[in-house]
């Protein structure tokens, strides 16, 4: 019993440490990729090729004054960023990052809690994370913040339907909500990947993922051109930094989810071992997320709702229907 | 020439979308949405940014100039902080103390004191340009008969004190760098075809 507790605590520490650091490093990668796509150099001066820019930004964030506006609802204003950051990391607890491996003769399973409703748990906790921007926007007594919070609500209602319905079809094929079962379903080489049997669900889930992580085409919450900084207008210092870390941790969660459910997960891929394969997939997905940020324009909130309710949801329902018939005939 | 005379620039290259192109029926709207979804224009956008990145990284199309380390060349007629040139042989100032620059300066920022020395040549005792007042019009360089005062290429002239803007020693070519002094091609210099443009004085004939 104690061994499990110690093991879990170690895993939690590793996940927290690695993904906090990765969140910081992803900001550097994002700035570099965006710069290259606009034919700029990006951060260059702090450290070799600007690698220590993350450190400089971190020092700046930690030492900045934490301003709380006098009209803000203080307890909610203070707790909102913690909700975003905490739920982003809680969602990671049900994700199997790597295949099992042996360390000093001890079998390590790189998942903090192997619960049998993994997908449901991850999606649920990730949606709870949207309470962060919502409460932050409503408590900060700022018009931009309030608009950002309102947009959080409509965005949550819109994409959550799509992502849930899109996931239903693969889950019908596998018959399990556990992410490990979903992964093991695709262990038959590249053509057993879910993306080939469920291409539409893959597309819908990726689009919903963009909305869930507030990435650019659906970057409504803190749309700089319209809403100064949206829900984060009044935030400064480490509270703002926690929103940021939460956002990037969410990005990693979604990328891991997409590669686990649709892209073959951590199954060995030809000569590439499983652990490396999933890292490659996640890296490609993150590059895709940055690439779209450099290429595509934002959309308006009403366009997001139109897209989610009138286009993507019917498509998802249609997909479920077709999958259902195929499963029935197959049985 | 006609296209340059047309001043209604905004109307030339725009494609006008006629109202009739908008769908009127729900079925038409559906068809339009379907057509646009299939078209893959979003992928076209991705392609453009990817090509940009490829060109920047591997084809030397990067636009950034890392300023303090790299500098863009400035135009030859750019009027930056003045330089006082010296004679290459003797290392003396080229300035003959004619005070033309002081007279022509419209911002009244050049000041010079002269006296006649024992060789009955004019000697410059004190010369200063107040860069806090100078408007860099270039008249002084243009009027100078000896090419002694020219505009150099030092455009980074920030300082903590106003007094730093009047020092003559900063403007004069230091004697140890006299060999590196190049004849100034820029603002106020003799034009390249000056020899052909020399005419006899009309009074002579």
What is the DSSP secondary-structure string of A294-319?
HHPPP--HHHHHIIIIIIIHHHHHHH
Encode pLDDT of B111-124 as tens digits.
Answer: 888 888 888 888 88
Average pLDDT over residues A141-148: 86
Q: What residue spans of chain A are helical by DSSP H?
A: 2-37, 53-63, 74-91, 118-128, 131-139, 143-174, 179-184, 194-197, 199-212, 237-261, 274-295, 301-305, 313-330
Residues belonging to chain A with any Cβ–Cβ distance to chain B shorter than 8 Å? 33, 36-41, 44, 291-292, 294-296, 311
Encode pLDDT of A53-96 as tens digits.
Answer: 888 888 888 888 888 888 888 888 888 888 888 898 888 888 88
The answer to whether the Cβ–Cβ distance between A296 and B62 falls below 8 Å is: no
Q: In a mutagenesis test of the A interface, which of B64, B66, B67, B70 is the best target, namely the one with the most A β-carbons within 10 Å? A: B64
Q: Is B52 on the interface with A (CB under 8 A)?
A: yes
Q: Please report, for residues B146, B185, B192, the alpha-carbon distance to residue B195 in angstroms, rounded to integers and kept in the order given.
A: 16, 15, 8
Tokens of A20: 């906090």
The answer to whether the Cβ–Cβ distance between A41 and B50 falls below 8 Å is: no
- pLDDT grade for B109, boundaries at 50, 70 and 90: confident
How many CB atoms within 10 Å of residue B139?
A: 18
Question: CA nearest B51 in A: which residue?
Answer: A37
pLDDT reading at B14 higher than 70: yes
Tokens of A58: 């971190």
Residues of A in contact with B56 (CB under 8 A): 36-37, 39-40
**Predicted local confidence at residue B1, as pLDDT:** 64
Mean pLDDT for chain A overall: 84
Residues of B in contact with A295 (CB under 8 A): 42, 45-46, 48-49
Chain A: closest CA distance from residue B153 (Å): 26
The answer to whether the Cβ–Cβ distance between B64 and A41 falls below 8 Å is: yes
pLDDT reading at A98 higher than 80: no
Q: Between residues B84 and B106, which one has the greater pLDDT?
A: B106
Q: In a mutagenesis test of the A interface, which of B29, B36, B53, B69 is the best target, namely the one with the most A β-carbons within 10 Å? A: B53
Q: Is B18 on the interface with A (CB under 8 A)?
A: no
The answer to whether the Cβ–Cβ distance between A36 and B64 falls below 8 Å is: no
Reduced to 3 states, what is the DSSP secondary structure of residue B86? strand
Residues of B in contact with A40 (CB under 8 A): 56, 62-64
Average pLDDT over residues A246-275: 83
Q: Is B42 on the interface with A (CB under 8 A)?
A: yes
CA-CA distance, A227 to A146, in Å (whole number)?
10
Residues of B in contact with A33 (CB under 8 A): 53
The answer to whether the Cβ–Cβ distance between A311 and B48 falls below 8 Å is: no
Question: CA nearest A296 in B: which residue?
Answer: B45
Q: Between residues A64 and A190, which one has the greater pLDDT?
A: A64
Q: Is B55 on the interface with A (CB under 8 A)?
A: yes
Average pLDDT over residues A164-174: 87
Q: Phi/psi of residue A255, each to 5°? A: -65, -40
Q: Is B48 on the interface with A (CB under 8 A)?
A: yes
Encode pLDDT of B152-198 as tens digits.
Answer: 777 887 878 877 777 777 777 776 777 777 777 767 777 778 788 87
Chain B: closest CA distance from residue A185 (Å): 31
The answer to whether the Cβ–Cβ distance between A39 and B62 falls below 8 Å is: yes
CA-CA distance, A52 to A50, in Å (whole number)?
6
pLDDT reading at B7 higher than 60: yes
**Predicted local confidence at residue B12, as pLDDT:** 67
Percent of chain A with pLDDT over 70: 99
- Domain range annotation of chain A: 67-330
Chain B: closest CA distance from residue A293 (Å): 10
pLDDT reading at B205 higher than 60: no
**Predicted local confidence at residue B9, as pLDDT:** 65
Chain A: closest CA distance from residue B42 (Å): 7
Maximum separation of any 2 CA atoms in chain A, in Å:
64
Encode pLDDT of A2-53 as tens digits.
Answer: 778 888 888 888 888 888 888 888 888 999 998 998 888 888 888 888 888 8
- Domain range annotation of chain B: 2-58, 82-180
Question: CA nearest B56 in A: which residue?
Answer: A39
Encode pLDDT of A211-221 as tens digits.
Answer: 888 887 887 77
Q: Phi/psi of residue B86, each to 5°? A: -120, 165
Chain A: closest CA distance from residue B57 (Å): 7
Architecture of the B82-180 domain: 2-Layer Sandwich (3.30)
């Amino acid at each position: 019993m104690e061994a499990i507790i110690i093991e879990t605590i170690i895993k939690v520490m590793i996940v927290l440490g690695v993904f906090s650091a990765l969140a910081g490093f992803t900001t550097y990668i994002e700035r570099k990729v965006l710069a290259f796509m606009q034919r700029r150099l990006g951060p260059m001066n702090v450290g070799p090729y600007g690698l220590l820019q993350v450190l400089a930004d971190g020092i700046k964030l930690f030492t900045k004054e934490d301003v709380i506006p006098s009209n803000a609802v203080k307890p909610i204003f203070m707790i909102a960023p913690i909700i975003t950051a905490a739920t982003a990391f809680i969602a990671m607890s049900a994700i199997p990052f790597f295949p099992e491996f042996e360390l000093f003769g001890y079998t390590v399973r790189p998942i903090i809690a192997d619960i049998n409703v993994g997908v449901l748990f991850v999606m649920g906790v990730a949606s709870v994370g949207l309470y962060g921007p919502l409460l932050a926007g409503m408590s900060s007594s700022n018009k931009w913040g309030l608009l950002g919070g309102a947009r959080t609500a409509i965005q949550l209602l819109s994409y959550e339907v799509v992502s849930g319905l899109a996931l239903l079809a693969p889950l019908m094929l596998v018959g399990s909500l556990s992410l490990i079962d979903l992964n093991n379903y695709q262990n038959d080489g590249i053509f057993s990947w879910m993306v080939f049997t469920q291409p539409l669900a893959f597309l819908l889930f990726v689009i919903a993922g963009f909305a869930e992580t507030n990435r650019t085409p659906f970057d409504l919450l803190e749309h700089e051109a319209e809403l100064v900084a949206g829900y984060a207008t009044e935030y400064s210092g480490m509270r703002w930094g926690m929103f940021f870390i939460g956002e990037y941790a969410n990005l990693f969660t979604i990328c891991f989810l997409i590669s686990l459910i649709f892209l073959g997960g951590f199954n060995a891929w030809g000569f590439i071992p499983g652990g490396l394969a999933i890292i490659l997939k996640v890296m490609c997905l993150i590059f895709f997320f940055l690439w779209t940020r450099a290429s595509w324009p934002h959309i308006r909130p009403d366009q997001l709702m139109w897209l989610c309710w009138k286009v993507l949801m019917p498509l998802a329902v249609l997909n479920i229907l077709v999958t259902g018939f195929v499963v029935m005939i197959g049985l | 020439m006609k296209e340059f005379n047309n001043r209604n620039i905004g109307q030339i290259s725009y494609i006008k979308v006629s109202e009739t192109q908008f769908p009127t029926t729900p079925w038409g709207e559906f068809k339009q949405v379907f057509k646009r979804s299939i078209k893959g224009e979003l992928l076209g956008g991705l392609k453009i940014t990817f090509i940009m990145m490829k060109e920047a990284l591997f084809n030397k199309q990067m636009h950034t100039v890392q300023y303090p380390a790299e500098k863009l060349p400035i135009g030859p007629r750019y009027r930056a902080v003045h330089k006082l040139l010296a004679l290459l042989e003797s290392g003396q100032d080229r300035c003959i103390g004619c005070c033309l620059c002081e007279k022509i300066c419209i911002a009244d920022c050049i000041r010079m004191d002269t006296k006649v020395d024992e060789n009955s040549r004019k000697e410059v005792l004190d010369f200063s340009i107040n860069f806090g007042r100078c408007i860099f019009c270039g008249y002084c360089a243009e009027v100078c008969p000896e090419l002694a005062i020219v505009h150099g290429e030092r455009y980074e002239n920030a300082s903590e004190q106003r007094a730093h803007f009047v020092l003559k020693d900063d403007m004069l070519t230091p004697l140890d760098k006299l060999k590196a002094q190049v004849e100034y091609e820029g603002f106020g210099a003799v034009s390249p075809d000056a020899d052909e443009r020399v005419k006899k004085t009309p009074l002579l004939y």
